[in-house]
Amino acid sequence: MRRVLVITGLLAAGIAALGLVTAQDKTPYIGLITKTESNPFFVKMKEGAQKEAQRLGAKFISAAGKTDGDNAGQVAAIENMVAAGVNTILITPSDAKAIVPAIQKARAAGVQVIALDSPTDPEDAVDALFATNNYQAGVLIGEYAAAVMKGKKPVIATLDLFPGHPVGAQRHNGFLAGFGLPSLPQESNELAKPAEVVCMADTYGDRAKAQTAMENCLQKNPNINLVYTINEPAAAGAYQALRAAGKEKNVIIVSVDGGCEGVRNVERGIIAATSQQYPLKMAALGVAAGVKYAKTGQKARGYVDTGVTLIAKNPVPGVGSKDVKFGLANCWGQ
């Protein structure tokens, strides 16, 4: 036991020592920490970061949580990367608040920390944020759904992420605002629930959980005619439940992501419209910022909007969108 404790103490000392020299190290060394390894969005982000790091001559390592929401796994990854001597950590935070102390320690050790895709809470806990405007992503699909409904009374189910996450709240509340329903401002991490929303469920962005959630929502209210989903895997799960209930032709599903399978589901009519985001751009900007910091000592600052585009098979008047061909040309994943 004593030997293990000594080794641990030496490792801690090594972490501190490495952290103190990180900002002065001119060799770009960048770490990427994603929420999971399985989500196609994060798979593509990792591939993009690796490719850009190789192009710019930077060392690169990566890690991921076991599941969306695995804060402990991300904390361990931060500590390991600081110990390894990275200059910059790029992270998609699973828990916007709980991850902040670990980020603060890394920054205090001289490591630049940039959030990709998802903000921390508070947002300025990191040096910079490169991400989709998730509220606007929600607004776009809300506007589209309202136009398609053409004044028909909405009976809405929302298949959300999990409580308190900024991305989940921004997409949910943006969708409601875009539809024209009472909502909450972009800064809120709470979920609005106007009377038109008859069922809300957490899915963690998982297809199987979303299918179960949709089944439960249909039991609660079989008249649901509009479903908002946090992402396209959740949309696929919702569709499975609707199809099993014989209701898939009478319910509109809208979503966010823009992955290749999701765009194909727009083409198939499974998803009416999706807001496409761009993980490759997030990754490339993050790596470039890491290289710049290692070479010049200049850190990235503030929020950079990496863009969002509404993808729809059937355009509607008054709502700007791109077609499936555009979506497939700019999608990610298989």
Residue corresponding to tokens 């329903």? 181
What does pLDDT average to over the chain? 92
Q: Torsion over CA of 98, 100, 101 and 107, rounded to 10 degrees? A: 160
Query: How crowded is residue 135: how many other Cβ atoms within 10 Å of its Cβ?
Result: 25
User: Domains along the chain?
Assistant: 2-132+279-300 (3.40.50.2300), 134-276+310-329 (3.40.50.2300)
With the C-alpha atoms ordered 310, 320, 172, 250, is the resulting torsion angle positive or negative?
Answer: negative
Query: 3-state secondary structure string, 280-323?
Result: HHHHHHHHHHHHHHHHHCCCCCEEEECCCEEEECCCECCECCEC
Closest Cα to residue 271, out of 246, 238, 308? Answer: 238
pLDDT per residue rounded down to tens, the chain (334 residues): 333 333 333 333 344 444 444 444 578 999 999 999 988 899 989 999 999 999 999 999 999 999 888 999 999 999 999 999 999 999 999 999 999 999 999 999 999 999 999 999 999 999 999 999 999 999 999 999 999 999 899 999 999 999 988 999 999 999 999 999 999 999 999 999 999 999 999 999 999 999 999 999 999 999 999 999 999 999 999 999 999 999 999 999 999 999 999 999 999 999 999 999 999 999 999 999 999 999 999 999 999 999 999 999 999 999 999 999 999 999 998 7
- What radius of gyration, in Å, describes the C-alpha atoms of the chain? 21
In angstroms, the CA 70 to CA 215 distance is: 26
Can you read off the two tokens belonging to residue 102? 């670990």
Q: Which of 122, 133, 228 is nearest to 186 (CA)?
A: 133
Structure tokens that stand for 16 in this block: 């501190």
User: How much is the pLDDT for 161?
Assistant: 95
Beta strands, E only, the chain: 29-34, 59-64, 88-91, 112-116, 128-131, 156-160, 197-202, 226-229, 252-257, 273-276, 302-305, 309-312
pLDDT number for residue 25 = 52
Would you call the peptide bond into 122 cis, given omega within 30 degrees of 0 as the criterion?
Answer: yes
The pTM is what? 0.85
Tokens describing residue 248: 């898939």
- CA dist., res. 195 & res. 181, Å (int): 9
Model pLDDT, residue 14: 41
